[in-house]
Structure 1
């Protein structure tokens, strides 16, 4: 198979955009090539639309000598991808299904500047080489082989997923250290370098039968040489039996090497699957009927894994053994957990936890019932682990002070759950560390579900009227490109706001650490984790435009659940008494400002910076710190709200969370009478 490349350099912004090659045996089609103009500081992205007529590997990037572009891709069925950013360029590489797409281009620079030109290009690669099941292919990597940006020369193949939904691809070479890479239509990317003791590679394809994936065969270090590929349908997974100790070996981390076993429950109950290894960090997964998928990395002792799975008699589960990192031998054992003691509603149970121990309980509720499971201790840092009848696991380490109990308890864990049927919860009492031990109290109470408004996606909020609802770990996925680069389960509301008016938005919960996201009608975005005083979220914003705003209520961990209250109300900022812009750096790591107070009032201090993670302190007239804040504002900005009852001269100290950070900041202080 002969492959060569032809450079089609852009020639406009030299050295910034990739020179995509074309192929013999493949098609490289340029879909977009145009200049767009961006203005730094503008949060509304520029959009470029295009169409993909047949699936392929989509390479998209943007480059500029004047600013750092941010490039994202949206496509059919909720498809999305984010380009990587580096030195004036953003590049992305995905398998793109057929359909309509749009690129969103904006500037990473938030300080205003004159409009700047950015060149955008999209190229679609469609290999014509196919690798069928039971077939073998001989090939050679040469200087003419196709090269992806930031990668080595590769030869590409289309592989169709067989009727079994699983295929194994192997690559062998005595000339090069092999590397296999797979791009799936749903956005997944998988790769494998060394399978076993040599430098051969093997990868397992899993997907919907009849769907084609893109397979890249390359050399890890860019070597040239001959290789061979083969594709086969693996044997059905062996059966896993209750009480059986199964031994095996994993040769590499990732899904390129995973072992699957079928288990059928002989009776209804909770089953414990334990995976242990002294050679590698284990990863255990379970795939259940209805698409539920459970996963555990370090739920066992050390780096071992453990899953608790509720199964009905005759129900099947697929148990998947993987390596989080490393390779070697493992042991897998299955056990039926004896029926644990049943908890009664409203009756506290006292117990004693031994070091490294786990004490188990169960509680059976009724459909629609909303309960709180609370664990408190003065002796150790509590960890509450609850397995639901749906098979999902919910855990909580630190909650607020206990409900209906003494505030003397030092450690509190709490999980809230709303039953969908009458199957029981499986509850485990643990310590946060293996050394934790001591006395504890466990209590299940019923919560008032009448005050809970059932969530409906996109429900409208009314100004000044709080909404109390229940955040479920089975909810919808909120925005995945937030400040932390993570996706989180959330519930989305809308509300109409008026340009120029100030609003205060609060998200409060006694059950979890809240996380609030707001999206404006013109692409604006705000978010907050912890307000100035606790783990509740608080944002104060002046609406930049009239229209519908999108509010997402979620948790900081991304998968917590429990009762929350969301409220939007008009807010009086008060008199602007201080408005300063400044900078910090190596020569001056902090700045101080004087605030003179003549009569009692409430101050709101906002510290914003696009250059560094801000930190803010308020000192009383004696120089004692009254309040401090890191991320109480939007994103990494800071905010302090405090009542100043005594006249005097107060000090505001502006700093960075990191001691070596530098850049510009904006400090504003508003004051209103008590």
Structure 2
């Protein structure tokens, strides 16, 4: 959903003042409908329009929480498009009811009591003609398969198809209702070989999401564990990682700890037992890892302390073996560490807990296929000793360290996107503080490290621009793999790599902790009934709660949402909070809502002759006015975070003095989308909150630096937003990109001290 007054947001254009200023038509009249009724309508020249030119009629009806409703729009004259909006930021829309047809249909279970708004419009601007809108109680009559009541302990099969309901970001979705025992723990797994699965659960006081399993080479299936809330009902949404993905899937739900129909049962492979030899075949049509390798998945039941010897042998491809399980357990092996088994794979592991483990039989490189043999046995004492000896002789320890020169060159192993990579493996100990640096004058370095328990840390730019540095506290004993690579594909050249224990005092140890964040947080979902957005007011409220929970939010901070977020209200809040923030403090201005762009006279700060604004309830604040507000600050550090369309245009105005960081959800000429998948008003808002809540604390020292925060945000945008569409105000299409402007703030400058973990 675009965070501007645009058709893609599924809303009509703003307040009357904003509508006139942006050159759009006035708000459409609304006609009431009763559930079970229908009405004929006519889209004609002179009707109200969405900003991209489609005519629109608006209807409302009253619904109740949990009610299943189907809204259909049929027409022989136009390609129908129907959008449904309601309380608590509810949003659904549909273009084609069935593949190849031009009718539209939305079938949903309503989340709350209240008034729901139907917008009857067209797929293309300027289409006119007659149509009929019908609202009925119950599910849709459609070719889409999936959704309904969950059967616990048995496969619930469905399909994502054209014609299914969609999330605001465009992914097809089937919703399943699970009625269960309050307080009971459940496990849900979404399995498919047709698309990259995404599963989320919502209930009273419950929200949880999962994309892939916890392994660094994890499958594209999804798995969630949750506790049933007090009302005994949750909604499980089966969807995909990207828009337009379709295919068959199986949803397995079981009570945690039961064995009736294990939710760990993979799409292919079956159950693996100790002493068993499995002859398998990797082939086209098997499930694949995200990086393209075919895989077969086997379920192995084990107990805490079991020592297991897994071996995978093939004469047709280079085997790769890994295992995941309870307590975020994961281990992987490319080649037998003893060196006696060539390129075949062998894993000797000690299981941490009782439960089901998933054993992935796959290949080292994408697309490899052929016969293989997989065995699972209890590990003998000699095998364990041999593995430990081989590992100790092969892998240096971080405390020993390394200082060496290397080079990236044609012919090196390459990452999936084409970057050459060198890998180094170390032994680490829980609690050990390490420092890793890569320096090069010939290419832009990129450094990342992976280890036990899903440990992961990345860095692009270190203190010297194109060099990289990682400071980390290791979470567990075990083997860690460090990858030296480049920021862009195909880069080559020499580098110096230094790894070892971190010495000296943690950076900026003198930065004071406590309630040092003085914040003005603004979020607007309710624009008076027109131009409304989903979740954006919650962005401000959730950020305030997260900072308060971390013990960093000063009580002088102010949160403004919806009707309170006026131009004067924001200016007064800014002045009030800024006056109380001193030279040891950080000032944060956060905004989630609509943004706009307007033509203006040329000046050096606006080379495109356009200026950008944030749209408040009764008017706008421009980028120039925001710069004037920031000019009144006297703080150690200041941050402006805008999650709105065209927000990147604020960078050159506001980030013009020392000590200011700017984070913007999109470039200055592009729109931003609502992050419906995360039930957030924007991707930047969501990841800022999770980052400042501790996820950006990459080195575990409880100080989040500018480098850690921006690296975390860039990584999250690369993973979650790289294929999210955006467009210019003239309708040119592109993709949403994060804009970071650190100005004079260094990567090692501390943003906040969070509560000690």
Bin for the TM-score computed over the shorter chain: 0.3 to 0.5
Q: Tell me the TM-score normalised to structure 1 length.
A: 0.41
Greater RCO structure (CA 8 Å; 6+ sep): 2
Q: Tell me the TM-score normalised to structure 2 length.
A: 0.37
- Bigger fraction of residues in strand: 1
